Chains A and B, each alone.
Chain A
């Protein structure tokens, strides 16, 4: 692909710091047509497939549901609903094992498909370019759309915040930088019309001034597919293949030269970014009324027929692996995601969720023993966030969380570049994740302490006030008029005695 074509709008491309040139292995899967996986025996839908608060079920065990019917509602602003991926009966509403952490249980809804795949009523909207942007946001929210690039951030939040601020550029991210994964490549090639129209729709939804679709330079067919459909309203850009060029902050730097403020969001510099899959899903949701029910998943690695699949959400990973000829071997690991940022799957009966972009079967993962850090500085050279991984490692291990924060731990995107190059085989990303979790727990505890302190101080103050009021009452009684009739006298002495008793009781309690 010649470099002149991609800068049709004369956009100057920059480079981001660090990064790695990795072997992509995408040729294993990117030239094959994607396959639709058949209905599995069970559909397991975790209630939290997104960043934010988990959804709340609105069905109960035994209910019959239709395809696309809402079965869990959003709980709060940063939350989305969950829909039934196919028609069937609600088998159970309970917990299933978390895909990532062996010991954790996550709430989920389990559906037993009835094989009919019968749709719920759909309400498509055709005038998506002229209706009120707020209505578009509502529709996207109702459809349960989240970031499909892997992060899972509710799409409507980005759009909503987008209309509140003036947005300069909408970027549609087709830069698939992680090795093995080609689901974005395939969805562009197969559904380019959805993506281009979806881009236009999203641009309307946030009223962005400019609109860019970015793909990697090793995706020429995807480029052509999009090029054929765009007009001058959308800028199509190719960026050099370098990991992690597809990371939000890195891609923004490449396309605009601007750096998202440390600890901030792209919206703070007037940019909103969505994955190509998200754009396609949003378009489908609005114009066909179909909520997010399936996605493209790359199944690759040590399998017979590595390829992309169109998978219904909630399909067990096992089922997907069967489609491509997987044989269980002792030495192997199944990973959800890519080889650099994916999560190890403990139990392959667990489901594909909204953020699953790939399932990898890998045998050759690194198991060498961890040696001490020799301070070679290779990790500093490759970090795309310009952090100091070796210092972060030293302080994270010492659990010195103040220093770790000062070193901008929370700007780490966990891309894995540092651990990849470390000659001592230190699992750096693991230490950072642990430190982040520990800090989050610590800060929650601190907030609890502050809260308890306020309550205690408020209570002490209240008790002091009561004590003062009682003292005032004593004083007031003492200054009552002295000439009293006998009845009054009795009353007074009775009151005085009662007050004395109360005072004594109070003093006894003070000790």
Chain B
């Protein structure tokens, strides 16, 4: 019994574990994955499988190189979640090597080179996405048409063999966010194009259902206590409030709040990406500031920045601010003498 000297109170435990937490998160993602596949085609599922396989492979390689026990870390689910989140943020039409390079960057650089699980500063999935977005902007611009011809064979062809760009052009279209951005930049009034085929009742057509599916999964996680309310609620609230203010000021030039919520990766980010415990703020007050920062930056990038959806960059910028935020938001200790 060599661990006797290491025994310390308490001797009972709530029996939660990292593996359990990760498992619950994966379950909560499933509805969203199904709905996204329904609307954006089989490419989503193919990329999910690809990304998860790459993620596990790179995780195994890095763990071996760093001489860490494979058994403990491979099955804790964190690599799987990184893979899934990455796959859900890139376009289903992206070639397989985009997934490979993005996941490689996410797992090897953003996660392991920073110290591995628990030590990384930047959200690996978002770091991977930002990497491929900047390196391969063209490949990431081809989004499938909602309910278009995105059969399994087609998708596999596009992902693994690739199509010349003219071929892709005919199969793909802009996302509601990208379309909105380009129209508004071209001084087209919102009311002129907002009843087009890309737009549904709440937000982007199809995207609103995707958002709802992730919302459902996220709410379930909150009820189970896996994630805490501060980050999702504050992020959504800030984004909602900002867009409400600007839309109210000029309804023709600024997208509405519902649109901002139910399109793009907003709800996925709110419940699954921004809430990543390792890279988010640790203190309760810090979480509020962190989430508010992400909301603010997302709105700024979406409205005035160069990218249609700014969530990835917003998250990464706030990740960098987390150590500072944690330092200034320490809760008052019990019995603090008020001076």
A and B touch in their complex, CB below 8 angstroms: yes
* Residues of A bordering B, CB below 8 Å: 16-17, 20, 22, 102, 179, 249, 253, 259-264, 333, 335, 337, 339-344, 346, 360, 362, 364-369, 371-378, 380, 384-388, 390-391, 407-408, 411, 414, 416, 419-425, 427, 429-430, 433
B278 touches A375 (CB 8 A): yes
Q: Chain B CB within 10 Å — which of A407, A411, A419 has the most?
A: A419
CB pair A423 B21 closer than 8 Å? yes
Indicate if the CB atoms of B280 and A340 lie closer than 8 Å.
no
Contacts A377-B287, A411-B335 known; list 8 others, CB within 8 Å.
A340-B12, A362-B12, A367-B3, A371-B18, A377-B284, A380-B282, A386-B332, A391-B330
Known: A375-B282, A416-B9, A423-B20. A346 touches B4 (CB 8 A): yes
Known: A385-B334, A420-B12. A372 touches B3 (CB 8 A): no
Could you tell me if A429 and B9 are in contact, using CB atoms closer than 8 angstroms? yes
Across the interface, do B336 and A262 meet the contact criterion of CB distance under 8 Å?
yes
CB proximity of A388 to chain B, nearest CB, Å? 6
Asked if B118 is at the interface of the complex by the 8 Å CB criterion, the answer is yes
Q: Chain B: interface secondary structure?
A: loop
B183 on the interface (CB 8 Å rule)? no
Chain A residue numbers with a CB within 8 Å of B9 are 335, 337, 339-344, 414, 416, 419, 429
**B268: shortest Cβ distance to chain A, in Å?**
20
The 6 closest A-B CB pairs, nearest first, are: A372-B118, A416-B10, A430-B8, A366-B13, A365-B11, A262-B335
Query: What chain A residues lie within 8 Å of B12 (beta carbons)?
Result: 22, 179, 339-340, 362, 364-366, 420
Does residue B72 face the partner (Cβ distance < 8 Å to A)? yes
Q: Is the CB of B333 within 8 A of A424?
A: no
Interchain CB contact under 8 A, A340 and B13 = no
**Alpha-carbon distance between A420 and B335 when the two chains are bound, in angstroms:** 23
CB-defined contacts of A388 to chain B, threshold 8 Å: 282-283, 330-331
Offer 12 A-B interface pairs, CB within 8 angstroms, sorted by A.
A253-B334, A260-B335, A333-B7, A344-B4, A371-B18, A371-B76, A371-B118, A374-B278, A376-B277, A380-B283, A385-B334, A425-B17
A22 to B15, CA, bound (A): 13
Task: Please give the distance in Å from A341's CB to the nearest CB on chain B.
Answer: 5
Q: What 0/1 readout, one digit per residue, does chain B (1-33) give for beta carbons within 8 Å of chain A?
A: 001111111111111111011000000000000
Q: How many residues of B contact A (CB 8 A)?
A: 42
B204 contacts A by Cβ under 8 Å? no
A260: chain B residues at CB < 8 Å are: 335
Asked if A419 contacts B282 (CB within 8 A), the reply is: no
Q: Which of B6, B116, B333 contacts A430, CB < 8 Å?
A: B6
B43 to chain A, nearest CB (A): 31
Shortest CB-to-CB span from A376 to chain B, Å, is: 4
Residues A368 and B334 in contact in the complex (CB < 8 Å), given A344-B4, A374-B117: no
Report whether B4 and A385 are in contact in the complex, using a CB–CB cutoff of 8 Å: no
Is residue B153 contacting chain A, with contact meaning CB distance below 8 A?
Answer: no
- Which interface residue of A346, A375, A421 has the most chain B CB atoms within 10 A? A375
Contacting pair B10 A264 (CB below 8 A): no
Across the interface, do A429 and B8 meet the contact criterion of CB distance under 8 Å? yes
Contact B10 A344 (CB under 8 A): no
Instruction: Establish whether residues B117 and A264, one from each chain, have CB atoms under 8 Å apart when the complex forms.
Output: no
> How far is B240's CA from A221's CA once the two chains are assembled, in angstroms?
55
B247 at the interface (CB under 8 A from A): no
Are B284 and A380 in touch, CB under 8 angstroms?
Answer: yes
B11 and A411 contacting across the interface, CB-CB below 8 Å: no
Tell me the complex Cα distance, A335–B333, Å: 31
Number of residue pairs spanning A and B whose beta carbons lie under 8 angstroms apart = 153
Give every chain A residue within 8 A of B253 (Cβ-Cβ).
none
Partner of A374, one of B6, B14, B277, B326: B277
Q: B residues engaging A (CB < 8 A)?
A: 3-18, 20-21, 72, 76, 116-119, 228, 277-280, 282-284, 287, 326, 330-337
A193–chain B nearest beta-carbon distance, Å? 35
If the complex has contacts A342-B11, A374-B18, are A411 and B4 also in contact, measured as CB distance less than 8 A? no
**What separation, in Å, do the CA atoms of A377 and B275 have in the docked complex?**
11
| Contact A386-B17, Cβ < 8 Å, known A377-B277, A377-B282, A430-B8 | no
Residues A369 and B10 in contact, CB atoms below 8 Å apart: no
Q: Could you say which residues of chain B place their CB within 8 Å of the CB of A343?
A: 9
- Is A425 a contact of B13 with CB atoms below 8 Å? yes
Cross-chain contact B10 with A341 (CB below 8 angstroms): yes
**Smallest CB gap from B225: residue in A:** A378
Q: Does B333 lie within 8 Å of A408, measured CB to CB? A: yes
Say whether B10 contacts A387, CB under 8 Å: no
Docked pose: A184 CA to B116 CA in angstroms: 48
Interface centre among B5, B119, B335 (most CB of A within 10 A): B335
Please indicate the chain A residues that have their CB under 8 angstroms from the CB of B3 in the complex.
367
Q: Is the CB of B118 within 8 A of A374?
A: yes
Q: Which residue of B lies closest to A360 (CB)?
A: B11
B279 contacts across to A, CB distance below 8 A: 375
The distance from the CB of A437 to the nearest CB of chain B, in whole angstroms, is: 13
Is there contact, CB below 8 Å, between B282 and A369? Answer: no
A259–B14 alpha-carbon span in the complex (Å): 28
Residue of B nearest to A101 (CB): B5
**In the complex, what's the smallest C-beta–C-beta distance from B78 to chain A, in angstroms?**
8
**A179, A249, A372, A386: which has the most chain B beta carbons within 10 Å?**
A372
Query: Are the C-beta atoms of B4 and A419 separated by less than 8 Å?
Result: no
A231 to B33, CA, bound (A): 67
Tell which of B6, B13, B21, B331 touches A420, judged by Cβ atoms closer than 8 Å. Answer: B13
Which residues of chain B have C-beta atoms less than 8 A from A424's C-beta?
Answer: 17-18, 118
Verify B117–A262 contact, CB threshold 8 A.
Answer: no
- CB of A249 within 8 A of CB of B228, answer no
Q: How far is the CA of A390 from the CA of B230 in the complex (A)?
A: 18
Please measure, in the bound complex, the distance between the C-alpha atom of A337 and the C-alpha atom of B8, giving whole angstroms: 12
The smallest beta-carbon distance between B68 and chain A, in angstroms, is: 10
Which of B13, B17, B280, B333 has a CB less than 8 Å from the CB of A375? B280
Are A391 and B8 touching (Cβ within 8 A)?
no
Q: Which residues of the other chain, A, contact B21 by a CB distance below 8 angstroms? A: 374, 376, 423
Report yes or no: A391 in contact with B326, Cβ–Cβ below 8 A: yes
Residue of A nearest to B287 (CB): A377
A369–B11 CB distance below 8 A: no
Interchain nearest-CB distance for B276 vs A (Å): 9
Q: Is the CB of A261 within 8 A of B278?
A: no
* Contact of A335 with B11 in the complex, beta carbons under 8 Å: yes
**Please, how many angstroms separate the alpha-carbon atoms of A70 and B278 in the complex?**
58
A419 and B10 form a contact (CB under 8 A): yes
Chain B residues in 8 Å Cβ range of A421 = 14, 16
Partner of B17, one of A264, A368, A387, A411: A368
Note all chain B residues with C-beta closer than 8 A to A366.
Answer: 11-13, 15
Contacts of A179 in B (CB 8 A): 12
- Please indicate the chain A residues that have their CB under 8 angstroms from the CB of B334 in the complex: 16-17, 249, 253, 259, 262, 384-387, 411
A248 CB to nearest chain B CB (Å): 11
In the bound complex, residues from chain A placing their C-beta under 8 Å from that of B13 are: 366, 368, 419-420, 425
Give, as a whole number of angstroms, the nearest-CB distance from B22 to chain A.
9
The winner among B5, B10, B17, B326 for most chain A CB atoms within 10 A is B10
Chain B residue contacts of A390, Cβ below 8 A: 282
The listed residue (A22, A259, A371, A427) touching B6 by CB distance below 8 A is A427
Contacts of A385 in B (CB 8 A): 333-335
Which residues on A sit within 8 Å (CB–CB) of B15?
366
